[in-house]
Each structure stands twice: as structure tokens, then as C-alpha cells.
Amino acid sequence: MNAPLNEKTIAFLATDGVEQIELTRPWKDLQGAGANLHLVTLEKGEITAYHHLDEAHSFGSDKVVNEVTANDYDALVLPGGVANPDALRMNEDAVSFVKHFFNSQKPVAAICHAPWLLIEAGVLKGKTLTSFPSLQTDIRNAGGTWADKAVSDDDGLITSRSPDDLDAFCARIIEVLSPV
């Protein structure tokens, strides 16, 4: 099995309301590429994922956001959903965690509504990204440029619009994190 990410440790930051497929599909692909993964949550215990507005499965946390830093990881994945990033952007530790990845110039991958957390962190000025279309005004107001495409990569900021773009999103994350 080809495992280009054997030396990489990646954080997935999520809370209740995460869109299940935006958590599980990148997790499966990155794990299949050999990465060590941690589900970082706001509190110890389990989070409940959703599929659209229907409750889906629960997932146990590996780490709590106030106990980790970007120094512990090679990259950060931010799955979407509506409730998930909305709750995360209201948590100072989550916002600080995201800022630290940008300040450390480490890759960050965000899909669907997850860029709300990037807006709150104040890291989008001068960046080009995509998201769920309803966020385009928010992104522009935060100083970013919104693009309507399956995947965008602006110097390690990897973004996609929705679950329909997961093939391109996951492939780009693996490509960016793979050794040259």
C-alpha cells in the first residue's frame, strides 16, 4: 500500500453538528495514505455528526482543543456542516488553534461552511478560496476572494464547496502533504 503520509500527524477540529461525510471521507482517505489522525473537540467525550439536518453517528474525541497546539500537528482539517463551524467560531481556543496553524504556515483544509471559522480567526485577507456558496459575501467582507470551483489551494489553504467536491478535496490534501 502506498502510504505517503506515514510521518504526518493531522488534526481534525470538529464539534456537534459536523457534516458526517465531511469528517469521515477525508479521515478515511488520509488514514489510508498513512497519516496519524486526531479528532480534536471542544470537550472530552463524543460529538454528534449530522447528514444535512438529520442526526447521524457519534465520534469520540482524541484530544481537546485547549490541550493541543499547532506545533503538535503537520496540518489541520476543518469539516463543515452549519452548526459545527458556527459553534467553533464562538470558542476562543478553537479560533486560537486555527490562527496558530496560519502563523506557523502549516496547511489548513476547510470544506463547505468551515471557512466561517477562518473568517473569525481573521486569516483570509488576500487569500483565494471556495466554500459553500452562501459564504461568498462573508469571505469577501473578510478580505478574501471567493472562487466557484471544486477545490482551491492558496499556498496551503485548501478549500472545497461541498460533499460533491470530496474527491478533489481529499486528493489535494494528500498531494500537499506528500513528500516531494
pLDDT greater than 70 at residue 1: no
57 is catalytic: no
Residue 145 has a pLDDT of 98
Average pLDDT value for the chain = 96
Residue 111 CB coordination number (10 Å): 33
- Mean pLDDT for 68-82 is 97
pLDDT tens digits, residue range 79-113?
999 999 999 999 999 999 999 999 999 999 999 99
Of the residues 38, 57, 112, 170, only one is catalytic, namely 112
* Region 37-58 average pLDDT: 93
Give yes or no for a contact between 80 and 110, defined as CB atoms under 8 angstroms apart: yes
**Single-letter amino acid, residue 14:** A
Is residue 113 annotated as part of the catalytic site, yes or no?
A: yes
Domains and CATH numbers, the chain: 9-177 (3.40.50.880)
What distance in Å separates the CA atoms of residue 72 and residue 170, rounded to the nearest whole number?
A: 21
- Whether 156 and 108 have beta carbons less than 8 Å apart is answered as yes
Please identify which of the residues 38, 52, 113, 170 carries the catalytic annotation.
113
- Report, as an integer, the average pLDDT of 47-64: 92
